[in-house]
Amino acid sequence: MKTLSRQEIYNGKIIKVYRDEVALEDGQRTTREVVAHREASAVVAINENRELLMVTQHRYPIHQDLLELPAGLIDEGETPLEAAKRELKEETGHEATDWHLLTSAFSSPGCHDEVIHIFAASGLTHVSEQNLDGDEVLTFAAIPINEIVQRIKSGSLKDSKTIIGVLLYESTQRG
């Protein structure tokens, strides 16, 4: 597929929207709408009691409160790991000593270019209170990982980054 032209439709704080004219492999021309989105990081933060630090926040586009991993956008000049460490501290007041990348995944590649980097973090220490962004409202709690896995299996936990991160973390722990 070859991009023939690009028209910017919207330029916002977090996203840009484009309408691209493309040529398919068979020569047919068509359009694709693309949402350009800043990259993000998420954290599977697990304490010594096998509890995950989870946040609950209202997600306006779907008008629901979701239980999720701590996560957020990567700031300019920041690495994915630096963003993960910052978000964990801002959203939960915790720091971790041990970090490793579980995966980097596209959130919705049919129309979105966002990549989310999902890290595992352990060796947790509570160092401060939450320090949320001005427009951020969320709560956090430590929830046993087996309870989170059950919520995933039952379909009551619907956040994709959390599903990916928790199940991938669990699969690496089983060998």
Could you tell me if 20 and 73 lie in one domain? no
Active centre residues (catalytic): 136
Could you tell me if 112 and 143 lie in one domain? yes
> pTM for the full model?
0.91
Residue 146: band (very low, low, confident or very high) from pLDDT cuts 50, 70, 90: very high
Looking at the 3D structure of the chain, how many domains does it have? 2
Q: Give the number of other Cβ atoms within 10 Å of residue 2's Cβ.
A: 10
Q: Could you read off the pLDDT of 107-142 as tens digits, one per residue? A: 899 889 999 999 999 999 999 776 666 676 788 999
Could you tell me if 100 and 49 lie in one domain? yes
Judge whether 125 and 95 are in contact, CB under 8 Å: yes
Could you tell me if 46 and 17 lie in one domain? no
How far from chain centre, in Å, is Cα 31? 28
Could you tell me if 57 and 131 lie in one domain? yes
Q: Supply the CATH number for residue 127's domain.
A: 3.90.79.10
Could you tell me if 107 and 127 lie in one domain? yes
Could you tell me if 73 and 30 lie in one domain? no
Q: Could you read off the pLDDT of 10-66 as tens digits, one per residue? A: 999 889 999 999 999 999 999 999 999 999 999 999 999 999 999 999 898 899 999
How many separate helices (H) and strands (E) can be counted in the chain? 3, 10
Could you tell me if 22 and 57 lie in one domain? no
Could you tell me if 94 and 152 lie in one domain? yes
Cα torsion 88, 92, 97, 100: sign: negative
The span from the CA of 5 to the CA of 119, in Å, is 36
Angle at 156 between CA 143 and CA 144, to 5 degrees: 15
- Round the average pLDDT of the chain to a whole number and report it: 93
Task: Check residue 112 and report its DSSP letter.
Answer: B
Residue 87: band (very low, low, confident or very high) from pLDDT cuts 50, 70, 90: very high
pLDDT at site 128: 78
Domain span at 63:
38-173
pLDDT at site 76: 92
Give the closest residue to 71 by CA, choosing from 50, 49, 40.
40
Q: 63-96 burial string, b = 16+ CB within 10 Å, else e?
A: eeeebbbbbbbbeeeeebbebbbbbbbbbbbbbb
Could you tell me if 104 and 28 lie in one domain? no
pLDDT at site 175: 57
Could you tell me if 54 and 119 lie in one domain? yes
Could you tell me if 86 and 48 lie in one domain? yes
- The helix/strand/coil state of 35 is strand
- The helix/strand/coil state of 36 is strand
